[in-house]
């Protein structure tokens, strides 16, 4: 099968010079080839988006909202199909893929309220018989570049808001699982979105670089690993664009001595191994405050033994394979590194039973205890099913560890002490905080974003900050002629 670009409302019919393999991670077999866009193919997509912008920006809010409502209905009706596409190319189990689509739907529902969201301010009589009002206008063509781990949800974080605000979009999904983006673009077309408003180009660095350099692309929303996020931010802003670039993570879950340890163990296993740890909000470090370490590790170990790992399409599977063989091998190399560096390997995922074909990209859930902050398994984002337990003596030590980490995407505290939780939310240098909630992804009417090396730029994704990112504000100061005009006055305008 061949997967190609969608430009100007049509499947691209050119001949590609480069393409990539798309795998079924549960079998290890190549399922499709995806075309990689050259710079000139990206130019074609930007041109299509640029041509569509003139009329889309002037399409009424009511009509734009209608497209969004129609899209919402179609997506809701076909969400199982989209989830199946995600599972086939990413590997996460079907129920998890369905969860990702559902969170994407919430972002669509937020964008359905665009007439309300774009209301500006109005000040009557700011000066005598002078009215001042603000309007939010679209930017033009915007680029959206998404990672492999949420092939449906991350495009849906950005595309509905960008379009609803009146922009036109060039979406570059991950080349590892590109079909979800194509499905979304086709549904938008069915919902009545005019040709050229949403274009999809596939590819790698060449396509991304052209988006970052193209003079007609006004803004870029990026989600991916920290080194690429930093590169995208620096390159895009150097080319005069507005950029929000969300990066990697190392999310800590702090467990205080008064916590419900069964709840904490359930949460650590769910958030550590869901989607095989390939979530930017996965918990990868449990910070156990003395004396809970031994008991908590025993409870986590016990739960891991019962996890059903296998092909995400098979009933009962809770955790699927990793996305590619290369990524699985990289994650396994961290398991070796952890042992070499002296951490205690409590559960070795390489021995976990697998309910799937032997050539799938498998690694079972892995647990390290007594991890030190100098070890690579702690310092690096592994992005796989490897959970580290760090032991500290006090609450203050736990906060110090989290705040010293270069990442600041998500964190959670498990405690029954409201005062401690309140201190934690105040003191912790992380953008999204959970209190007895391990994966605190904000609902669609708030905004999503980490701190420190987890986000470059000053706008978080979706919600109110998403609308802010995709619009620029204009302030109009107006006076209709009346007999009171006072002739020439070279002084600076004062409000009287
Ligand atoms: P990645 O950085 O490898 O790729 C992200 C996107 O950038 C893809 O579209 C890819 O094609 C493109 N890309 C890759 N290399 C590039 C290069 N050298 N130059 C230009 N573009 C390039 O990330 P990934 O492996 O697809 O996704 C996993 C990462 O994304 C993890 O680090 C994860 O934490 C992060 N992530 C972050 C969030 C968040 O909200 N902060 C959400 C999801 C994923």
The CATH number linked to 204 is: 3.40.605.10
Count of C-beta atoms within a 10 Å radius of residue 43: 14
Tell me if 53 CB under 6 Å of ligand 1: no
Ligand 1 atom with the shortest distance to the CA of 448:
40
Same domain, 241 and 278: no
pLDDT at 448: 98
pLDDT band at 197 (very low <50, low <70, confident <90, very high): very high
Tell me if 224 CB under 6 Å of ligand 1: yes
pLDDT at 484: 64
DSSP string covering 449-472, please?
--EETTEESS--BSHHHHHHHTEE
Same domain, 369 and 430: yes
- The answer to whether residue 78 scores a pLDDT higher than 90 is yes
Mean pLDDT of 405-433: 98
Mean pLDDT of 130-157: 98
Tell me if 43 CB under 6 Å of ligand 1: no
Give 399-410 pLDDT, tens digit per residue. Answer: 999 999 999 999
Please give the residue range of the domain that contains residue 353: 251-435
Same domain, 233 and 257: no
Q: Are 352 and 309 in contact (CB under 8 A)?
A: yes
Tell me if 280 CB under 6 Å of ligand 1: yes
Ligand 1 centre to CA of 129 (Å) is: 53
pLDDT at 489: 86
Q: How far apart are the first and last CA of the chain?
A: 70
- The answer to whether residue 486 scores a pLDDT higher than 80 is no
pLDDT at 410: 98
Tell me if 221 CB under 6 Å of ligand 1: no
Greatest pairwise CA separation for the chain in angstroms? 88
Residue 50 falls inside a structural domain: yes
Give 36-68 pLDDT, tens digit per residue. Answer: 999 999 999 999 999 999 999 999 999 999 999
Mean pLDDT of 269-276: 98
Tell me if 228 CB under 6 Å of ligand 1: yes
Contacts of 490 by beta carbon, 8 Å cutoff, 6+ apart: none
pLDDT band at 477 (very low <50, low <70, confident <90, very high): very high
Ligand 1 centre to CA of 143 (Å) is: 14
CA atoms within 13 A on the CB side of 343: 29
Same domain, 319 and 425: yes
Mean pLDDT of 430-446: 98
The CATH number linked to 358 is: 3.40.309.10
Same domain, 196 and 267: no
Please tell me the distance from the alpha carbon of residue 19 to that of residue 317, in angstroms, as a whole number. 32
Same domain, 459 and 411: no
Same domain, 292 and 363: yes
Ligand 1 atom with the shortest distance to the CA of 147:
26
Count of C-beta atoms within a 10 Å radius of residue 286: 32
Ligand 1 centre to CA of 284 (Å) is: 18
pLDDT at 265: 98
Instruction: Give the chain's domain count.
Output: 2
pLDDT at 478: 94
pTM above 0.95, yes or no: yes
Residue 493 falls inside a structural domain: no
Percent of the chain scoring above 70 in pLDDT: 99
Please tell me the distance from the alpha carbon of residue 325 to that of residue 260, in angstroms, as a whole number. 38
pLDDT at 480: 85
Same domain, 287 and 410: yes
Our answer to whether residue 280 is catalytic in this structure is yes
- The answer to whether residue 485 scores a pLDDT higher than 70 is no
ipTM attached to this prediction: 0.99
- The answer to whether residue 287 scores a pLDDT higher than 90 is yes
Q: Which of 112, 165, 280, 317 is catalytic?
A: 280
Same domain, 257 and 390: yes
Give 311-335 pLDDT, tens digit per residue. Answer: 999 999 999 999 999 999 999 999 9
Give 374-394 pLDDT, tens digit per residue. Answer: 999 999 999 999 999 999 999
pLDDT band at 294 (very low <50, low <70, confident <90, very high): very high
pLDDT at 421: 98
Ligand 1 centre to CA of 147 (Å) is: 4
Q: 265: helix, coil or strand? A: helix
Residue 366: asked if its preceding bond is cis (omega within 30°), the reply is no
Please tell me the distance from the alpha carbon of residue 319 to that of residue 307, in angstroms, as a whole number. 8
- Closest residue by Cα to residue 87 from 311, 274, 328: 311
Q: Whose CA is nearest to atom 1 of ligand 1?
A: 224
Same domain, 461 and 385: no
pLDDT at 483: 62
- Closest residue by Cα to residue 287 from 434, 412, 441: 412
Same domain, 190 and 64: yes
Spatial strand order of the sheet with 19-24 comes to 2-3, 29-35, 19-24
Reduced to 3 DSSP states, what percent helix, strand and coil does the chain have, rounded to the nearest 5? 40, 25, 35
Same domain, 185 and 272: no
Tell me if 454 CB under 6 Å of ligand 1: yes
pLDDT at 146: 99
Ligand 1 centre to CA of 176 (Å) is: 11
Ligand 1 atom with the shortest distance to the CA of 212:
20
């Amino acid at each position: 099968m061949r997967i190609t670009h969608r430009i100007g409302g049509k499947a691209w019919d050119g001949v590609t010079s480069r393409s990539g393999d798309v795998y079924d991670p549960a079998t290890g077999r190549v399922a499709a080839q995806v075309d990689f866009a050259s710079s000139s193919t990206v130019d074609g997509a930007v041109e299509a988006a640029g041509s569509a912008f003139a009329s889309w920006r002037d399409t009424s809010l009511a009509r734009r909202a209608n497209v969004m409502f129609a899209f919402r209905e179609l997506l809701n009706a076909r969400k199982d199909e989209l989830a199946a596409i995600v599972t086939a190319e990413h590997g996460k189990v079907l129920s998890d893929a369905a969860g990702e689509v559902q969170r994407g739907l919430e972002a669509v529902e937020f964008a359905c309220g665009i007439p309300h969201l774009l209301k500006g301010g109005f000040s009557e009589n700011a000066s005598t018989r002078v009215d001042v009002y603000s309007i939010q206008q679209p930017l033009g063509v915007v680029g959206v570049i998404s990672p492999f781990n949420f092939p449906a949800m991350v495009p849906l974080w950005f595309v509905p808001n960008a379009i609803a605000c009146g922009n036109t979009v060039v979406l570059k999904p991950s080349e590892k699982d590109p079909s979800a983006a194509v499905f979304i673009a086709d549904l938008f077309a069915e919902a009545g979105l005019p040709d050229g408003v949403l274009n999809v180009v596939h590819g790698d660095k060449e396509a991304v670089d052209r988006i970052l350099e193209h003079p007609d692309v006004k803004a870029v929303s990026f989600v991916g690993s920290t080194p690429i996020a930093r590169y995208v931010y620096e390159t895009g802003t150097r080319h005069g664009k507005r950029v929000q670039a969300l990066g990697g993570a190392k999310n800590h879950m702090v467990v205080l001595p008064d916590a419900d340890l069964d709840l904490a163990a359930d949460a650590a296993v769910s958030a550590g191994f869901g989607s095989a740890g390939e979530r930017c909000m996965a918990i990868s470090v449990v910070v156990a405050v003395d004396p809970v370490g031994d008991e908590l590790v025993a409870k986590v170990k016990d739960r891991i033994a019962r996890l059903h790992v296998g092909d995400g399409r098979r009933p009962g599977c809770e955790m699927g394979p990793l996305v590619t063989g290369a990524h699985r091998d990289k994650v396994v190399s961290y398991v070796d590194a952890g042992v070499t560096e002296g951490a205690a390997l409590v559960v070795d995922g390489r021995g976990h039973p697998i309910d799937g074909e032997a050539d799938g990209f498998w690694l079972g859930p892995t647990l390290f205890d007594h991890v030190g902050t100098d070890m690579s398994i702690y310092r690096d984002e592994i992005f796989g099913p490897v959970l580290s337990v760090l032991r500290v003596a006090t609450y203050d030590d736990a906060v110090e560890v989290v705040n010293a980490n270069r990442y600041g995407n998500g964190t959670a505290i498990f405690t029954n002490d409201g005062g401690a939780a309140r201190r934690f939310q105040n003191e912790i240098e992380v953008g999204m905080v959970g209190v007895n909630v391990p994966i605190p992804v904000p609902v669609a009417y708030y905004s999503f974003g980490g701190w420190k090396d987890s986000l470059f730029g000053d706008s978080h994704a979706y919600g109110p900050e998403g609308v802010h990112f995709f619009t620029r504000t204009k302030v109009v100061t107006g006076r209709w002629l009346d007999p009171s005009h006072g002739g020439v006055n070279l002084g600076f305008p004062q409000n009287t």
